Structure 1
Amino acid sequence: MFGDRRGRRVGFLLLLAAVCLLGTSCASGRGKETPPQPQLSEAQRQQAELLNQSAEELYQKALQGDVSGSRTSLIQISDLTTGLTFEGLTTVEGMNALTQTITEAKKVFQAVRYQPAEGQVSAAKLRLAADALIHKNQPLWLQHYKTLQEDVNALEKSAAEGSREALRQSAADLREHIGLLHPSLLISRDGADVAKLDSLVSFVGTQTDGSAEHFRNVQNAAAPLRQTIDKLFMKKEATAYLPYPEPPHPILWTTAFGSVILAALAFAGWRLSKKDGGLTTVRRGGEETF
């Protein structure tokens, strides 16, 4: 199980490397984009581009195992962020997400025992966030749509098969990948939509103990997860909602509800029978008969 997870992480990091390397080659295509915001000053745009370049250098150095160079790039990124005016670039949530990502990266690269895998993930998260700040229409994180869809498919399959271990692994993979893209999502998208995704991912994480009810809840959550991801990736308009857990004994609930209805009908019939001594007036040809 741990070998499979390690393989998926390595594969995901390789995908990140390929996407980030493509960032430079796609520059000509991005030249056709609409500028991030008309009100951006030239100085502001240049500073944001320098931040993006520094984040790219950080990621490349992290891949090469250059810890000292990565720390230097982080200092440059921190200085550029401090002097950057975020108005027109992103929201307050996006600004906080970027600064928090930088703070987390500093902790990783300044740790006494540096972990290369954590450094690469931290650098990749910052790389995607900086790119999202300057490229509004086609940020690099959009290329990870397939990864999230595969995570949801694996989640749904493991729940359908009733595999607790596979379900836990799938939920962990989804949470990890969403975490990597989370700062970029807050920079590029409405915070309310990101919060809906967070709620769904959190809900799924609480439904992995292997009970039949939780398996059903995860299967019910698959559709709104896809809808929310589609909306964030602008694949189609979708309304996200939280799945409500099914009652533990649906048959008993149905029986009880039916009993309440029958009791109400019986009471209504008894009240009618007592009206006028149980007699009902019938009009026929202007006469009243009983």
Structure 2
Amino acid sequence: MLTLLISVQLLAGCSLGQKPVEQAAPPKPAQDQLQKLELLNQTADDMYKKVMQGDLAGGRAALQQLSEQIPQIRYEGITTLEGLNALTTTITQSKRVFNAVNLSPEEGQVSVATIRLATDALTHPREPMWIQHYRLLQDDLEQMERSMHAQNKPELLAADAKFRQHIAVLHPSLLISRDPIEIEKLDSLVLFISDQVRSEQELYKQILNVMPSLRHTIDVLFLKKEATAYLPIIDDHNPILWTLVMGTIILTVLSFVAWRLSKKDGGVITIRKSLEE
């Protein structure tokens, strides 16, 4: 039931010194690229509507069309290598869901919602649909903070799980639209907080100290003008503990970046005509 609510929610609203070196502007997408992207987006929209109406067979057929259309498009000037990889990975994962022996309608709905947001991010770079869900993430964080202040571990676990699922649905769209470095910051903070939430120790204050950084990162990704450099609350009574917490964050970030680099295979992504398993 939680995954069903997620899919519905996510698509319901639908310096003084040396002068810096100017970088060349990225190439503008050609007209044929834009036309193919629009067709891709229409196919994704058709797939989403069919699945949400209970037509899983029709959704599976539309998903196959998507997997055939994606390799026919040139993505220079549209998204980064990481964004393209996120799109193809999302399609592959969705095909696994729809090819499962026991297909869960709820999993199918979440899967197509993720794709729908991703293709919209490609075709509407200035005003993508995913940008409308800032309030949804803020509600998740507020629930987590209330649970921590009340030291209610079960509610905190539930709120964290819902937040991570929302992030997972938005994640491909974020990689398509934003700087991958900023996404790595987000992933590292989410991973650190989630590990702390699920630990046997109840270090509520240490998690709360990291929450401002997470809020700031989300503000940056959602282009909020009021985004400011939040400062964590230092625990004067336990400076050694706070040092350990910050050290853990740094190690988590470094480990995550190393893992991401190891997955890139030297920065080369092979795209076949069909994304069959």
So what's the TM-score if we normalise by structure 2?
Answer: 0.76
Q: Percent identity?
A: 43
Contact map agreement 1:152 1:225 (CA 8 A) in 2:
no
Select the residue among 195, 198, 201 that pairs with 1:211: 201
The 5 Å alignment of 1:1-290 reads 6=1, 9-19=3-13, 22=14, 39-208=28-197, 209=199, 211-212=201-202, 214-236=203-225, 237-239=227-229, 250=238
Contact map agreement 2:10 2:130 (CA 8 A) in 1:
no
Q: Please state how far the C-alpha of 1:10 moved relative to its aligned partner.
A: 3.9
User: Counterparts of 1:251 and 1:99 in 2: how far apart (Å)?
Assistant: 45
Q: Please state how far the C-alpha of 1:120 moved relative to its aligned partner.
A: 0.2
Q: Which amino acid aligns with 1:14?
A: V
User: Counterparts of 1:136 and 1:72 in 2: how far apart (Å)?
Assistant: 27
Structure 2, unpaired ranges of 5+? 15-25, 242-277
Q: Please state how far the C-alpha of 1:54 moved relative to its aligned partner.
A: 0.6
Q: Larger relative CO (CA 8 A, sep 6+): 1 or 2? A: 2
Q: Which amino acid aligns with 1:43?
A: D
For 1:154-199, what per-residue CA distance to the aligned partner results, in whole angstroms no more than 9, with x for missing partners?
Answer: 1111111111111111111111100000000000000011111111
Change (3 A) 1:202 1:240: farther
Contact map agreement 1:228 1:240 (CA 8 A) in 2:
no
Contact map agreement 2:148 2:156 (CA 8 A) in 1:
yes
For 1:46-84, what per-residue CA distance to the aligned partner results, in whole angstroms no more than 9, with x for missing partners?
Answer: 000000011101111111121211111111111110111
More helix by percentage:
1
Change (3 A) 1:191 1:57: same
User: Counterparts of 2:78 and 2:169 in 1: how far apart (Å)?
Assistant: 20
Q: Please state how far the C-alpha of 1:94 moved relative to its aligned partner.
A: 0.2
Q: Please state how far the C-alpha of 1:15 moved relative to its aligned partner.
A: 2.4
Count of aligned pairs between the two proteins: 229
Structure 1, unpaired ranges of 5+? 1-5, 23-36, 254-290
Q: Please state how far the C-alpha of 1:11 moved relative to its aligned partner.
A: 3.5
Larger radius of gyration: 1
Contact map agreement 1:128 1:181 (CA 8 A) in 2:
yes
Two-structure CA RMSD over aligned residues (Å): 2.5
